[in-house]
A = this chain, B = another copy of it.
Amino acid sequence: MAKHKQEEGPAPKLTINDIARLAGVSKKTVSRVINRSPLLNEETRDKVEAIIRETGYVPNPQARALALGRNFLIGLVYDNPNAQMVLSMQRGILEALHGTEFELVIRPVDRGSNHVMDDIRGFVTRQRLFGVVVLPPMSENDALARMLDEQGCRYVRMGSAMLDDAEHMVASNDREAVADAVRHLIAQGHRRIGLIAGPHGFRSAQERREGFEMALTEAGISLPRSLIADGQYTFESGLSASESLFDLTPRPTAIFASNDEMAAGVLYAARLRGIAVPEELSIIGFDDTPVTTRVWPPLSTVRWPIVAMGRAAALKLIGTAIGEGADVKEPSMFSSTLIRRGSVAPPANN
Contacts and interface: CB of A to CB of B under 8 A. Distances in A.
B11 A58 contact: no
A220 interface: no
Contacts of A291: 290-291, 294
A335 interface: no
Interface in A252-277: 261, 264, 268, 271
B66 A1 contact: no
Contacts of A261: 294
16 contacts: A2-B149, A2-B150, A11-B152, A60-B126, A61-B126, A63-B66, A66-B66, A87-B87, A94-B106, A103-B123, A103-B127, A104-B105, A106-B106, A268-B296, A290-B291, A295-B295
Contacts of A73: 105
Interface string A286-309: 000011011110000000000000
Interface residues of A, number: 55
Interface string A105-133: 11110000000000001110111100000
A8 interface: yes
A151 B11 contact: yes
Contact of A105 (B66, B103, B126, B294): B103
A31 to B, nearest CB: 16
A86 interface: yes
Given A1-B146, A127-B61, A149-B1, A294 B235 contact: yes
A91 B128 CA distance: 23
Given A105-B105, A106-B104, A62 B58 contact: no
A128 B9 CA distance: 15
B94 A87 contact: no
A71 interface: yes
A94 B106 CA distance: 9
